[in-house]
Structure 1
């Protein structure tokens, strides 16, 4: 689960002179000599009253954000307008008509698509990741305009946004003696997509790694969203946490700041392990969910057959099951569970934190199997008042975003499951290929109607992890016992605790050995009962125990 989209560091703005507008329309035009034309992609315009950072960096979040509007373009030539008018859908404001009169900073943007023919044989146009983690408003090669200061009249305004700049390549972080980064081309994924595809990893080394060239180490594979920051937030150059900050943090979670973790990791007596995060973005989301997928390709195979063996050789890791541990939160929590459950002999244990839906009868608040509509619960025969279903809540129960609102955001970000947001990530990862070559969605983004054939596909292809456990327990149970720990707050902001309850019931019914712990009272998304350092200590004890059983 990605909780924030469209946010970024403050940067200087290039604001044009005040412009007076006239007819309810915005033309987004590619400047001559800018990028390669013709362009197939999606054009956007973004409005904001805040000039502290570019408008494009303020839009696209389901937790909030400024008004923006998007429209597909096909083979658009330089000078030819992509027209955004009153009929163009926006988020959170639905129409240009709904933008209140006043002064705004406005920016145009073009997401440029790439033509590919994946192994499924259908040619499609997708936003190809450029190692930025599928961020529509940051992708290198996308086109942007200068920011204009405008006076907007919703009853009659006409603005032209000329795209004059190409977003530059991403600057990679520098390695240190503690943190190393690698990036390799994947033969499996490159063959599947028909063009080069890369996998990456960020590696945190233990104290003394360089001084002990014959020593091999256990590995902790930390699953989660795209990013090249140090595992566990390791930051030896930070500052100690203030008493006030610690008090506020520990109400929500025991997870410590990166500086505090670095003090533990670099201490002489701390367990000597190697911590690793993966980078595996797809055209549809900032990571692949570490599974094989009909729409994104054999990512799980590539991670296990290509990336992990490379890491084991390069960083002297112990190439045995007991020494391969998993953890991660939210999206990463689901991945850490999926890899352990689907590959029980390969991995030696998982600490899954607040995982995305692990039982699709509790897909957040949607029951994929019993519900007919994603936007609202099933209605009784005498029910006239319909209630929207919520996607998120505050930990005190206060409602936040609805599924309908999220669907609106996804429609604005892109057609055909190309917006890169959370629910469409599930469609692209778990779902079948549609007749047009794009992922077939679980539910209609306009009506909310659930496609039961897609729900069945998700389940029958192993993505409903609780169902997978039940169906395969006789084969995998003995290799999973004692390897699974799950932590989640009882007021998880995305209702992810509901699926975890169902999985715990399954383990009890199967007499399986697993640990489930719930944060109470009112613990939110992100809760964990111990610090990261203490979790690593638990892992080290687990490795020592399993090594004595499996043999070193």
Structure 2
């Protein structure tokens, strides 16, 4: 009976793999029963290919099986094992129209690791070819990576990617016939947003990044102008940098009230009905606040710095991504200040954001202590790598599991505010490995390695841990500590950093953060409390039972507070300006 239960767990399409054979990350030897399933994906054989490209194509071929026909399978892939479609991936090189790619039992998949283990049945099946481009880096390495094409590194939506029309197929291991599908469609280009009276869009070529990547590379930004900008040509404005994931347009700003005739959308995450209307109302309320008579006039920018690894760069210099920190701080921000009458002085520049943006805000302040006057970091990505979510990268031998002499336990990857776990760290990482080798998945764990790791001999990032097994490389962990562990850097360099950061660091996190990010904040706060000569002089605060991404607002539930970054920190910024602006600073032209 126990053997049958274990076999069922291994065969389940949307269950966590629990047997020893399953958790190796490789398919077990085929047992010879029935036939080995096989799926053949071919490129449209029309002249020039399905998108008119006649040359060979490099990339990642992704094959998806789904039991849900309400949306395309490509939009159903996630690391949540209860809801994700089944996905497999193969690296391909030099594909021409008419070429075929074969998926068999040896191709690694998620959540089931082998096509041989997918239960017989009917599925909606689709394939996507995520295209790579060739880069010759300043370091001399040649790498093949998926260049962002305006979508924010989303393989399922990236313009130029080839994909097949979804088709219903029956997978039958007793049949010797291979299933066949054809890439017959191409994802169209994305139309960039247009300027409005309040929101402007800029794009500049970065000399620093172009030099590193060996081709023209660009930085962009959405700029929110203060009310009355054109009517006060002599005013110059402080700058607030709202860090975060790839913004298609300026987030959280809407000049019209929500359309209440649109259907309500229930938020599973927050268990709130009509959450779409709530989001739109908050955006409209911010517009009314932004244009109010008593509200101080600022510039706010959201940066577009998607790159060949992720939807943003983490706003720091990196061995694998290049000098994004310098490019943002010394090229992009001065350009915006010149273009839109920013004050252009460090005392008038502030950083804030949540999650990735929270880490970026704090990191930019730490690495450029004299260029900014305060960072407000909400629910930041791990700022102490002794708590890299639930992994101590310096002491743990394995990221995915804790072992004892007679047993083991898988490390959780995501929880809700009640502590209920929906996936493990292994789930997150195995899905990324299916979507792209060599850190090319566009996923969270891959970008942490791409940003923080040294460059490998092949030109790609060195792995902190083996992606299949979770075994940690201590030499890479040591590199992470010395270059990007913010708590370690603060403690190591406080004698010189402390005087330049006094009063500038403000950190907020919910104590039930979905990704366990509060653990690193506890450790960082413990150090900050010991500082003297000078004391850090900032703030660390926790939201009781608040999930990701709480921003310090105790007055509202998390599903509302997380929408108010742009207005919530303004009183704190005004207080900081009053305390720190140099004698003779312009404190009036922007207070009309």
Q: 1:190 to 1:513 in 2, by over 3 A?
A: same
State the secondary structure of the residue aligned to 2:437: coil
State yes or no: 1:118 paired with 2:141: no
Picking from 90, 100, 106, the partner of 1:87 is 106
* C-alpha distance in 1 between matches for 2:331 and 2:253: 26
* CA drift at 1:517: 0.5
* CA drift at 1:465: 0.2
Note the alpha carbon deviations across 1:220-248, whole angstroms, 9 max, x for none: 101111112214x1112232999x99995
User: 1:285 maps to which residue?
Assistant: 310
* CA drift at 1:152: 2.6
User: 1:272 maps to which residue?
Assistant: 297
Question: Structure 2: which 5+ residue stretches go unaligned?
Answer: 1-34, 554-563, 587-592
Picking from 25, 32, 43, the partner of 2:38 is 25
The answer (yes or no) to whether the contact 1:98–1:154 under 8 Å persists in 2 is no
* C-alpha distance in 2 between matches for 1:370 and 1:329: 28
- Which stretch shows the higher mean deviation, 297-306 or 89-98? 89-98
* CA drift at 1:88: 1.2
User: 2:24 maps to which residue?
Assistant: none
The answer (yes or no) to whether the contact 2:79–2:428 under 8 Å persists in 1 is no
State the secondary structure of the residue aligned to 1:73: strand
The answer (yes or no) to whether the contact 1:225–1:287 under 8 Å persists in 2 is yes
User: 2:237 maps to which residue?
Assistant: 217
Alignment of 1:171-250 (within 5 A): 171-231=191-251, 233-239=252-258, 248=272
* CA drift at 1:61: 4.5
User: 1:446 maps to which residue?
Assistant: 468
* C-alpha distance in 2 between matches for 1:151 and 1:458: 47
* C-alpha distance in 2 between matches for 1:357 and 1:550: 39
Question: Structure 1: which 5+ residue stretches go unaligned?
Answer: 1-21
User: 1:17 maps to which residue?
Assistant: none
* CA drift at 1:420: 1.2
Q: 1:456 to 1:325 in 2, by over 3 A?
A: same
* CA drift at 1:198: 0.9
With structure 2 as the length reference, what TM-score do the two structures score? 0.84
Alignment of 1:39-438 (within 5 A): 39-62=57-80, 64-156=83-175, 158-231=178-251, 233-239=252-258, 248=272, 257-377=282-402, 379-380=403-404, 383-438=405-460
* CA drift at 1:550: 8.1
The answer (yes or no) to whether the contact 1:28–1:44 under 8 Å persists in 2 is no
The answer (yes or no) to whether the contact 1:47–1:105 under 8 Å persists in 2 is yes
The answer (yes or no) to whether the contact 2:61–2:89 under 8 Å persists in 1 is yes
Note the alpha carbon deviations across 1:480-529, whole angstroms, 9 max, x for none: 11111111000111010011111111111113212001001x11011123
State the secondary structure of the residue aligned to 1:227: coil
Picking from 525, 542, 546, the partner of 2:576 is 542
Q: 1:298 to 1:392 in 2, by over 3 A?
A: same
The answer (yes or no) to whether the contact 1:357–1:499 under 8 Å persists in 2 is yes
State the secondary structure of the residue aligned to 1:47: strand
Note the alpha carbon deviations across 1:368-398, whole angstroms, 9 max, x for none: 1010111113x45xx3110011122111111
Q: 1:483 to 1:44 in 2, by over 3 A?
A: same
Note the alpha carbon deviations across 1:171-196, whole angstroms, 9 max, x for none: 11222111111111111101110111
State the number of aligned residues.
521
Note the alpha carbon deviations across 1:314-356, whole angstroms, 9 max, x for none: 1111111111000000000000000011111100101100000
State the secondary structure of the residue aligned to 2:420: coil
State the secondary structure of the residue aligned to 2:247: coil
* C-alpha distance in 2 between matches for 1:397 and 1:431: 31
* CA drift at 1:62: 4.7
The answer (yes or no) to whether the contact 2:200–2:223 under 8 Å persists in 1 is yes
* C-alpha distance in 2 between matches for 1:317 and 1:432: 36
* CA drift at 1:155: 4.1
* C-alpha distance in 2 between matches for 1:61 and 1:178: 38
Note the alpha carbon deviations across 1:23-61, whole angstroms, 9 max, x for none: 611111111322343222111111223333322122245
* C-alpha distance in 2 between matches for 1:41 and 1:336: 33
The answer (yes or no) to whether the contact 1:240–1:260 under 8 Å persists in 2 is no
State yes or no: 1:494 paired with 2:510: no
Note the alpha carbon deviations across 1:275-309, whole angstroms, 9 max, x for none: 11001112111111001001010000110111001
* C-alpha distance in 1 between matches for 2:409 and 2:173: 31
Q: 1:62 to 1:339 in 2, by over 3 A?
A: farther
* CA drift at 1:421: 0.7
User: 1:12 maps to which residue?
Assistant: none
User: 1:8 maps to which residue?
Assistant: none
RMSD of aligned residue pairs (Cα, Å): 2.3
State the secondary structure of the residue aligned to 2:361: helix
The answer (yes or no) to whether the contact 1:488–1:518 under 8 Å persists in 2 is yes
The answer (yes or no) to whether the contact 1:23–1:158 under 8 Å persists in 2 is no
State yes or no: 1:467 paired with 2:450: no
- Which stretch shows the higher mean deviation, 155-164 or 466-475? 155-164
Note the alpha carbon deviations across 1:439-494, whole angstroms, 9 max, x for none: 10100012211000100111122x00000101111111111111111110001110
Note the alpha carbon deviations across 1:396-415, whole angstroms, 9 max, x for none: 11122211111210110111
The answer (yes or no) to whether the contact 1:207–1:268 under 8 Å persists in 2 is no
* C-alpha distance in 2 between matches for 1:403 and 1:155: 35
- Which stretch shows the higher mean deviation, 335-344 or 48-57? 48-57
With structure 1 as the length reference, what TM-score do the two structures score? 0.90
User: 2:30 maps to which residue?
Assistant: none
